[in-house]
Amino acid sequence: MAPAMNPARLLPGALVVLAAALVAAGCGPSSRSAAGAAPDGPGAAAAALVGPHVHRGLRVEVDFVEGRRPGDAALETLRQRLLERTDHPDGVEVVLDDLLAPTGRERHTLEDVRALGRLHRDAEAGDRGVIHVLVLDGEADPSLGHHLLGAAVGPTSIVLFPDAILRAVGGSATRAQDLLRWTLVHEAGHLLGLVNLGAPQAVSHEDLAKRGHCDQPGCVMRWSGDERVTDFCPRCKDDLRQLGGR
Ligand SMILES: [Zn+2]
Ligand SMILES: [Zn+2]
């Protein structure tokens, strides 16, 4: 069995910067209040998404532009992680919802992304909490982050840029699938309050140089790392358990 962090497969230096750009929209220090999450930022709904007291179940709604459908394996990994870490009697479902026409835009600003989210996101249904995943053509405007792969753009919203992801791995379809999965689980982790973004730390493990991220090896909440990593470390799991999860 290959080691979890095979150095030969670590992201090359350039990609570390790309992965770092993930946080630009949501978890940079400027968007945080003293308590952790900003009121309209990732982590603001963490307790409701993680614990059993607000929602009976979670629904992940995926709206994607033609030709950018996320792979089933990535979506199933996300469903599994949410199921394992959150506590909802009705469980977690992931729904491929709207097939969107190409936006035709080469660059999306944060406002563009939020407007598209408002346009396509379905109304919250009954007792289910909703995480909305918007998968776009084109790439993020540099004002959002250079070579951004994806971002948590609100308390329950994620945007993915698969074109940027494919470019980041030099066009390798296999690595792109892994990196998309990593991005999806990582951004969902921010919505769940990781790290120190709405989920108080049981034991301190926030990377103080990369706020909102984990300093533990082999954790999907690190600022950057091996794109094959798909899970939270024990300290991140402790935080989620403390917040009402499992
Ligand atoms: Zn991040
Ligand atoms: Zn961690």
Tens digits of residue pLDDT in 69-112: 999 999 999 999 999 999 999 999 999 999 999 999 999 999 99
SS3 content of the chain, % helix, strand, coil (to 5): 35, 15, 50
HSE at residue 234, side-chain half, CA atoms within 13 A, is 1
pLDDT digits (tens, 9 = 90+) for 33-43: 334 678 889 99
Length of the chain: 246
Q: Where are the alpha helices (DSSP H) in 141-242?
A: 162-168, 173-191, 234-242
pLDDT at 9: 33
Q: Which numbered ligand comes closest to the C-alpha of 212?
A: 1
Q: Which numbered ligand comes closest to the C-alpha of 20?
A: 1
Q: How far apart are CA 82 and CA 156, in angstroms?
A: 13
pLDDT at 165: 95
Q: Identify the band that residue 6 occupies on the pLDDT scale cut at 50, 70 and 90.
A: very low
Sign of CA dihedral 167, 113, 50, 40: positive
Of the chain, the end-to-end C-alpha distance in Å amounts to: 28
Distance 34 CA to ligand 1 centre (A): 18
pLDDT at 31: 37
Q: How far apart are CA 119 and CA 77, in angstroms?
A: 27
Contact 12, 132 (CB under 8 A): no
Q: Which numbered ligand comes closest to the C-alpha of 221?
A: 2
- The structural domains of the chain, ordered by start, are 11-242 (3.40.390.10)
Distance 219 CA to ligand 2 centre (A): 5
pLDDT at 36: 65
- What's the chain's average pLDDT? 86
Sign of CA dihedral 82, 120, 155, 138: positive
Residue 82, exposed/middle/buried by CB under 10 A (0-12, 13-18, 19+)? buried
Distance 131 CA to ligand 2 centre (A): 21
Does residue 12 register a pLDDT over 80?
A: no
Distance 101 CA to ligand 1 centre (A): 28
Does residue 63 or residue 124 have the better pLDDT?
A: 63
Q: Identify the band that residue 224 occupies on the pLDDT scale cut at 50, 70 and 90.
A: confident
Distance 57 CA to ligand 2 centre (A): 24
Closest CA to 12 of 169, 229, 221, 171: 169
Q: Which numbered ligand comes closest to the C-alpha of 189?
A: 1
Does residue 207 register a pLDDT over 90?
A: yes
Can you tell me the mean pLDDT for 145-158?
92
Distance 161 CA to ligand 1 centre (A): 14
C-alpha 7 chain-centroid distance: 24
Distance 225 CA to ligand 2 centre (A): 12
